[in-house]
Amino acid sequence: MEVLLIQKDQQERERFVFFMESTYGCVLHEATQLDHAHELIQRENPKIDLIIVVGALGNDDEMKKFSMETSSIPSIYILDDALRDRAAGWEGTFLVVDPDQQMEGTVGAIDDWIEQGILEGSKSEQPQVRIRTRLLLSVCPLKGDVFIRLNEGKFVKLFKQGDVFEQSDMEKYTINKGVEYLYIQREQCKEFVAKLGEELKKVLAAGRLTVEGSAKLNESVHEAVHELVANIGFTREVQELVKTQVEVSMRALGKEPSLSDLMKKFLSMEGQYISAHSTLTSYLACGLAVQLQWGSAPTFHKLTLAGFLHDITLNNQELAGIRSLKELEEKKSKFTAEEVKDFREHPIKSAEMTRRMAEVPPDVDTIIRQHHERPDGSGFPGGLEHKYIAPLSSLFIVAHDLADYTLEARDSFNIEVFLQSVSETYKASYFRKILASLETLRKF
């Protein structure tokens, strides 16, 4: 089965490609807009068996025209409530799926069409989960096979069950060829999580932890947790992995992390936004806590865990970097309706996910739920004014902004510029005191 997937966001598109490949073993053709899809059909003239359109990728007339021109091809449109109503007048063999049920709805539609003979195909017997290459190979051998994904969307076994890899093997077959990710079968995830947890415990036991080394490890583990949550859920095993990595980070930070030292170490920090930002936010929050004389092991634990999990339900790197509803409004044309909805709701969803953890410290869910609030009430999701924002949440919000500024400014970092940019926003209550603690960085 050959599928044309039309979706704007690259990260979400890659996730859907993986989902379709692993579920049905189909060949995916990708487009970002309706006109891109037209060009692909006209230029390549592939045998497309199914079209999947995610989100409003044009106005009503453009969407209706596209459905008419592709009416001979079975299609699935993943649309919000307003568009679902208007789609009733479109032509062709198509179903409309609720964004909140996009994976389940897509599977249901395809399975029904396969049963009715409209589509040919069957579910793949070996669904795979993507893991960053270095992280995956660090825990091998596994009891299952390791796969590589080819350009045409097919999986090929790279290492068989039980293989032991030398560093040279890893570099020869993966790193030197630019292969960032390898794949394991979904049923191997539990073993992978357990082995990664063991490796992290070895790091703790060795005691040779640097902040820089811990941060790089934190980024890789954070990315793996994102992938695992998307594929197998926030299981108890994944929760334990998060707890162990938080312990690694806390051990590396020490009892009194210096904010100025942390800034020096992380000005050149690189990596995917969500993981780099999450790591840096947690470390800077702990440094700020020391500046305010709020530093303690329980406080560091809460801030580090909140930093790791506050964006755990987001996958779009560019969307995650948006800081306010005003900025979201200015850039919303770049995102689908469901992406905008996900962003608005991610503080609540991430907080709810965190509450499911066993023995989670109190206040962590509050910090996560409030991390996009603003003292003047212009934030979200609650529109809380400063007197209703918890003290640790206030600290985390400032650290969150400082982390973003640090990642953007890098070598041109200037604390004066940052303080001027937020002085009016953070002039009330605890926020004023937190900003004052940053005065020591003027000498940085």
State the angle between helix axes of 391-409 and 429-437 in degrees (0 to 180), rounded to the nearest 10.
50
pLDDT confidence band for 265 (50 / 70 / 90): confident
Q: Is residue 164 scored above 90 in pLDDT?
A: no
Which segments of 150-258 are extended strands (E)? 155-159, 181-185
Spatial contact of 275 and 401, defined as CB atoms under 8 Å apart: no
Q: Is residue 127 scored above 70 in pLDDT?
A: no
Which pLDDT score is estimated for 165?
A: 64
Q: In the numeric block, which tokens belong to residue 212?
A: 């820089």
User: Can you list the alpha helix ranges (DSSP code H) found in 293-336?
Assistant: 297-309, 317-320, 325-331
Which pLDDT score is estimated for 122?
A: 63
Which pLDDT score is estimated for 119?
A: 82
pLDDT confidence band for 39 (50 / 70 / 90): confident
Peptide bond into 141 cis (omega under 30): yes
pLDDT confidence band for 101 (50 / 70 / 90): confident
- Answer yes or no: same fold for 2-116 and 255-443: no
Q: Is the pLDDT higher at 290 or at 186? A: 290
**What is the mean predicted confidence (pLDDT) over 155-160?**
79
3 state SS of 2:
strand
Spatial contact of 267 and 414, defined as CB atoms under 8 Å apart: no
pLDDT confidence band for 172 (50 / 70 / 90): confident
Q: Domain residue spans in the chain?
A: 2-116, 255-443
pLDDT confidence band for 285 (50 / 70 / 90): very high
User: Mind giving me the DSSP string for 36-50?
Assistant: HHHHHHHHH-----E
CATH number for the domain whose boundaries are 255-443: 1.10.3210.10
pLDDT in tens, 350-375: 999 998 888 889 899 999 999 999 99
Which pLDDT score is estimated for 132?
A: 78
Q: Is residue 50 scored above 70 in pLDDT?
A: yes
Burial 149-160 (b: 16+ CB within 10 A, else e): beeebebeebbe
Which pLDDT score is estimated for 397?
A: 97
**Which residue is associated with the tokens 């897509």?**
106
Q: Is residue 45 scored above 60 in pLDDT?
A: no
DSSP 8-state class, residue 424: T
Spatial contact of 119 and 74, defined as CB atoms under 8 Å apart: yes
Spatial contact of 299 and 241, defined as CB atoms under 8 Å apart: no
Which pLDDT score is estimated for 25?
A: 65
State the angle between helix axes of 297-309 and 337-355 in degrees (0 to 180), rounded to the nearest 10.
150
Spatial contact of 31 and 6, defined as CB atoms under 8 Å apart: yes
Least confident piece of the model among 151-155, 156-160, 247-251, 330-334: 151-155
Q: Is residue 123 scored above 60 in pLDDT?
A: no
pLDDT in tens, 420-442: 999 999 988 789 999 988 887 76
Pick from 377, 380, 376, 353: which is nearest to 364 by CA? Answer: 353
C-alpha pair distances (Å), 350 with each of 229, 307, 440? 11, 11, 33
CATH number for the domain whose boundaries are 2-116: 3.40.50.2300
